[in-house]
Amino acid sequence: MKKVITLMLFIAAFALSGLSVAQETQLPADDIRTGTIKEMQIAGSYVYVLVVEDGNEAWLATSPGFVKDIKYGDVIEYRVDVEMQDFNSKGLDKTFESLLFVAQIRLKQDDATEGGTEETLPQNP
């Protein structure tokens, strides 16, 4: 029940934030994680992003507005707000062993002008 309430609060804050990806987004320095985008999928009101961090893969979930300027292969910085175990995405018909809900995401500052392929986020069908 505590996880459900936490997730609901996160989603509400996320929906009200109205933020988008910007290179100037401020992230607390001690909470920043870095990863390279390997895959992105849209399902419902979320974008699921597979990142590789230090050789380990992790799935992130975020709002489409946070990834509009990000491409496959880009190096991103993000802060994890909530981690859910065994999260089932009905839209993807997939259960994630671990899913990191992310409310802040940006291109890594060193890579803000380079990186990624020209392939951008797929459009929601």
Amino acid identity at 80: V
CA distance 114 to 125: 29
> Does 88 reside within a domain?
yes
pTM of the entire structure? Answer: 0.67
Predicted confidence (pLDDT) per residue in 102-118, tens digit = 987 888 876 544 444 44
> Does 116 reside within a domain?
no
> Does 12 reside within a domain?
yes
> Does 125 reside within a domain?
no
Domain of residue 59 covers 2-111
CA distance 24 to 1: 36
> How many domains are contained in the chain?
1
> Does 102 reside within a domain?
yes
> Does 51 reside within a domain?
yes
> Does 120 reside within a domain?
no
Predicted confidence (pLDDT) per residue in 9-20, tens digit = 455 444 444 433
What CATH number does the domain containing 33 carry?
A: 2.40.50.140
